[in-house]
Amino acid sequence: MFLVVLACKNLTRYKRRTVITAVTIAIGLMLFILIDSILIGVDRESVRNLLWYETSSVRIMATGYWEDRLMLPLDVSIDDPYAKVRLLREQGYDATPRIMFAADLILYSEDFGEDGNLPVRVTAVDTTLDNTVFRFEDTLLEGRFAESGKNELVIGSWMAEDLQAEVGYWVTLVTRGNGGFFEAMDMQIVGIVNCPNPNVNRSLLMVPIDTIADYLAMENLATEIDISLPESADVDIEAQAITRLMAESGNSATVMTWKDLAGDYLAMMQAERGGSSTMLFLVFLIAAVGISNTMLMVINERTRELGMMRALGMDDRSIHWLFMLEAGGIGLLGSSIGVALGMLANIYIVQEGLDFGFFMREMDMAYRVQGIFRGAWSLRSILTTFFSGIFLSMLVAWIPTRRAIKMDIPSCLRHQ
């Protein structure tokens, strides 16, 4: 108890120094809380946007499709997809078939001002079932969704901006059908969607699956079946259950989770976690240097006092604790201020967010967030930061104290 009282009183001895060191720690921890909050928020939103607009939770593909996925082959496809969708729905899974194919998008001068073409990836969707798995229904910026059996196309807003496309314009999709024949399909743009996933906004071309099936000889075929799962579901366990279900019904298929499908995103998240750890290390390093320097000065100024206490019989362990408690007190002060300021600033970050739209529009950063980066509350992260600040402060006091204790008592008592 005496050590705690003395440590607390000693904190008031060098008020300015205590405050400066605490503020250094506070600024570091505050910045960490904010950056960590943004990263957590962006991560959560990215995952949500991946599931809702890009990958769904689980995808079924024909065996061998994944290996050739970059070619978007039509001949490696799922037979009788609707039978499988029915089977899945009977088991409580929301599922929808899709056909993905590569095409050349031909633009005409009548609508676009000049002729041109560009390679695109087209998603053919079931106009009824797709919205039970994906969430495009609220993303319509202009026009309407494509209707079943019609030559209609919905385009992502950023792509529309880049092409200066408008609702009512005609384009032609030129591709090879199932079997290798060439096919050209005239399509009218009927809608523009602006969804929160920038990858989708940048590249989406959505057409009705039955229209495409006719053109490309894909009747009763699909390149994938997408399945959505509730947020609480364990995606790996459900993927295993779906694999078993497919096998039991005599269907050979590859079942992959969104984690497999969004490898680029997860790789970036992993790198980001590494970056986050490095940043945490740097923040703590700065705090550690600050507090270590403070404790060095404190111990240097109080060497004679240290000698007196040792002469009177205070053991090394108690002296270590005394200085560690003092450093812990500075850490507690800095952590409290840092966490309080960090949480205050985080209210704004969570509610309003930071607008990185200018940045995200031009760059593909793998984040599935369109522009505004919103933070998220993580009690665990805040508590970890708080206690780390205190613990680290105590830890770095160990070294200078140890050095002082190594000095013999007469030298301590002579110290000026």
* Residue 168 in the binding site for another protein (CB under 8 A): no
**Which two three-digit tokens encode residue 302?**
């109080």
Site map (CB under 8 A) of another protein, residues 84-123, x = contact: ----------------------------------------
Closer Cβ to another protein, 60 or 309, answer by number:
309
- DSSP-derived secondary structure for 48-93: HHHHHHTS-SEEEEETTTGGGGGG--SSS-EESHHHHHHHHHHTT-
The C-alpha atoms of residue 273 and residue 277 are separated, in whole angstroms, by 6
Closer Cβ to another protein, 11 or 245, answer by number:
11
The C-alpha atoms of residue 276 and residue 279 are separated, in whole angstroms, by 5
* Residue 234 in the binding site for another protein (CB under 8 A): no
- Give least dist CB 291 to another protein, A: 20
* Residue 341 in the binding site for another protein (CB under 8 A): no
**Which two three-digit tokens encode residue 41?**
């928020």
Pick one of 44, 276, 305, 340: the residue that binds another protein (CB under 8 A).
305
Pick one of 31, 140, 308, 365: the residue that binds another protein (CB under 8 A).
308
Report whether 57 contacts 238 (CB < 8 A): yes
Q: Is 300 helix (H, G, I), strand (E, B) or coil?
A: helix
Question: What's the alpha-carbon Rg for the chain, to the nearest Å?
Answer: 31
113: left (phi over 0), alpha (psi -120 to 50) or beta: left
Stretch (H or E) spanning 301: helix 263-301
Site map (CB under 8 A) of another protein, residues 254-293, x = contact: ----------------------------------------
* Residue 301 in the binding site for another protein (CB under 8 A): no
- Give least dist CB 328 to another protein, A: 17
Identify the residue whose tokens are 């205590």: 18
Closer Cβ to another protein, 209 or 322, answer by number:
322
Residues of span 310-339 touching another protein by CB under 8 A: 310-316, 318
* Residue 235 in the binding site for another protein (CB under 8 A): no
CA distances from 388 to 130, 170, 180, 382 (A): 47, 60, 62, 10
Stretch (H or E) spanning 348: helix 316-351
Closer Cβ to another protein, 312 or 379, answer by number:
312
- Give least dist CB 415 to another protein, A: 11
* Residue 15 in the binding site for another protein (CB under 8 A): no
- Give least dist CB 13 to another protein, A: 5
Which segments of 104-234 does DSSP mark as H helices, in order?
A: 109-112, 130-133, 157-163, 198-203, 209-216
Closer Cβ to another protein, 9 or 86, answer by number:
9
Query: Binding residues for another protein, per CB under 8 A?
Result: 1-2, 5-6, 9-10, 12-13, 304-305, 307-308, 310-316, 318, 408-410, 413
